[in-house]
């Protein structure tokens, strides 16, 4: 192998994989996974509790495996490559009976050629090291920055602390709203209900107040108001599946339980439903946008010890 070929091979090896390549590939893989999870979420079974549970577990597993693999690959790519010794081709000896210059000049020319190649190699290696160091600094700075989840938790915790309250964590299983309300009923020594009872009573309330509520109910894909068939499907999902609950379900729960419900979130004022109708101490729950990647979530609260 000639000296020039060795330089070309070395430059190819130096450019194979860098932190920049790894970070770019990770961004693409995260986007692809999110698209896959959204497709899985749309196709998730609504009427089969076991299948729904398996679906949620599979989504969590995929996210965990991707995160673990990305972490390992970043750690491997962050290791600076060891200097690679470039083989230097020995100058060929030119035999001549003429004069000494014929013996010395080819060697000097070869040394000059290798020296220029070495300078180019050193320059490329230095640029690669500087680029990778910049990427490591950027990644470290990003790691040190609080995530949206951390910022949201800090803001909600601060609001609760000011009111002598603390978070009570609720499992993320699609029933978080109903579990949070059930916990509040127990905390306030109010008549208890199971999650399934709360779901069934909420569905009954929405059906009974269709004329007042349907003007606020839109299809998640088209944005159009629900027709009669879609409205009945909506009520069925409340009662028989793990469909996530929102403002309509909160309004229904406040009315059928005849108790105010206050929803605290990170930004903006809290939402208070039923205060004018019922009065008294409200049930206090928290709404999170970023705590889980699969969607919004509700937690309960409890007195700060």
The model's pLDDT over 24-39, given as tens digits with 9 standing for 90+, comes to: 788 888 888 887 877 7
Give yes or no: residues 93 and 169 share one domain. no
Closest C-alpha to 263, from 177, 194, 183, 186: 177
Give yes or no: residues 129 and 153 share one domain. no
Give yes or no: residues 156 and 125 share one domain. no
User: What would the DSSP string read from start to end of the chain?
Assistant: --HHHHHHHHHHHHTS--HHHHHHHHHHHHHHHHHHHHHHHHTS-SS-HHHHHHHHHHHHHHHHHHHHHHHHHHHHHTSPPPP-PPPPPPPPP---SS-THHHHHHHHHHHHHHHHHHHHHHHHHHHHHHHHHHHHHHHHHHHHSPPHHHHHHHHHHHHHHHTTEEEE----SS-HHHHHHHHHHHHTTPPP--HHHHHHHHHHHHHHTHHHHGGG-B-TTT-PBP-HHHHHHHHHHHHHS-PPP-HHHHHHHHHHHTS-EEEE-SSSPPEEESHHHH-SSPEEEEEEEEEETTEEEEEEEEE--
Greater confidence (152 vs 40) lies with 152
47 has pLDDT over 70? no
Instruction: Tell if the pTM clears 0.95, that is, is over it.
Output: no
How many structural domains are present in the chain?
A: 2
Greater confidence (39 vs 110) lies with 39
The model's pLDDT over 257-297, given as tens digits with 9 standing for 90+, comes to: 999 999 999 999 999 999 889 988 999 999 998 887 667 89
Give yes or no: residues 39 and 123 share one domain. yes
Give yes or no: residues 226 and 136 share one domain. no
Give me the domain span that covers residue 98. Answer: 3-144
Give the range among 30-39, 106-115, 134-143, 163-172 with minimum mean pLDDT. Answer: 106-115
For range 3-28, the mean pLDDT: 60
Give yes or no: residues 139 and 168 share one domain. no
* CA 295 – CA 59 distance, rounded (Å): 12
Give yes or no: residues 231 and 272 share one domain. yes
Give yes or no: residues 183 and 298 share one domain. yes
Greater confidence (80 vs 71) lies with 71
User: pLDDT-derived band of residue 17, with 50, 70 and 90 as boundaries?
Assistant: low
Q: Which two tokens stand for residue 184?
A: 């509040």
Q: Which residues participate in catalysis according to the annotation?
A: 173, 176, 297
The model's pLDDT over 144-185, given as tens digits with 9 standing for 90+, comes to: 777 888 899 999 999 999 999 999 999 888 899 999 999 999
* CA 76 – CA 16 distance, rounded (Å): 14
Give yes or no: residues 123 and 258 share one domain. no
* CA 230 – CA 218 distance, rounded (Å): 9
Q: What is the pLDDT of residue 105?
A: 60
* Domain end call among 109, 144, 179: 144
14 has pLDDT over 60? no
92 has pLDDT over 80? no
* Domain end call among 109, 126, 144: 144
Greater confidence (42 vs 67) lies with 67
User: pLDDT-derived band of residue 110, with 50, 70 and 90 as boundaries?
Assistant: low
Q: What is the pLDDT of residue 287?
A: 96
Greater confidence (59 vs 238) lies with 238
Give yes or no: residues 76 and 188 share one domain. no
Q: What is the pLDDT of residue 232?
A: 96
* Domain end call among 90, 124, 144: 144
300 has pLDDT over 90? yes
Q: Which range has highest mean pLDDT (5-14, 25-34, 37-46, 56-65)?
A: 25-34
Q: What is the pLDDT of residue 192?
A: 86
User: pLDDT-derived band of residue 186, with 50, 70 and 90 as boundaries?
Assistant: very high
Q: Which two tokens stand for residue 164?
A: 């002598």
Q: Which two tokens stand for residue 181?
A: 């309300």
Give yes or no: residues 49 and 192 share one domain. no
Give yes or no: residues 134 and 171 share one domain. no
Give the range among 51-65, 69-83, 183-197 with minimum mean pLDDT. Answer: 69-83
Summary mean pLDDT of the chain: 80
Domain of 293: which CATH number? 3.90.70.80
Q: What is the pLDDT of residue 118?
A: 83
């Amino acid at each position: 192998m000639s000296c020039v070929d060795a330089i070309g091979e070395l430059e190819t090896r130096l450019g194979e994989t860098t932190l920049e390549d790894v970070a770019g590939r990770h961004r693409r893989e995260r986007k692809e996974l999110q698209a896959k999870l959204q497709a899985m979420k749309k196709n998730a079974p609504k009427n089969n509790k076991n299948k729904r549970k398996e679906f949620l577990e599979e989504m969590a597993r995929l996210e965990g495996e991707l995160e673990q693999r990305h972490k390992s690959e970043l750690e491997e790519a962050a290791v600076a490559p060891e200097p690679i010794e470039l083989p230097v081709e020995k100058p060929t000896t030119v035999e001549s009976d003429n004069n000494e210059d014929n013996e010395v000049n080819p060697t000097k020319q070869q040394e000059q050629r290798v020296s220029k190649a070495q300078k180019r190699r050193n320059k490329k290696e230095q640029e690669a090291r500087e680029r990778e160091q910049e990427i490591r600094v950027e990644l470290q700075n990003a790691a040190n920055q609080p995530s949206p989840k951390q910022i949201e938790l800090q803001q909600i915790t601060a609001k609760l602390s000011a009111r002598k309250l603390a978070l009570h964590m609720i499992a993320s299983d699609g029933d978080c709203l109903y579990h949070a309300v059930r916990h509040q009923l127990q905390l306030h020594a109010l008549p208890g209900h199971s999650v399934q009872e709360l779901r069934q009573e909420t569905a009954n309330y929405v059906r009974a107040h269709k004329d007042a509520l349907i003007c606020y109910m839109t299809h998640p894909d088209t944005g159009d108001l629900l027709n009669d068939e879609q409205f009945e499907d909506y009520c069925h999902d409340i009662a028989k599946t793990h469909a996530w609950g929102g403002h309509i379900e909160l309004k229904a729960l406040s009315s059928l339980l005849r108790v105010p419900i206050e929803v605290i979130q990170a930004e903006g004022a809290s939402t208070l439903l039923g205060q004018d109708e019922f009065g008294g101490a409200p049930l206090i729950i928290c709404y999170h946008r970023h705590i889980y990647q699969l969607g919004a979530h509700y937690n309960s609260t409890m007195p700060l010890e």
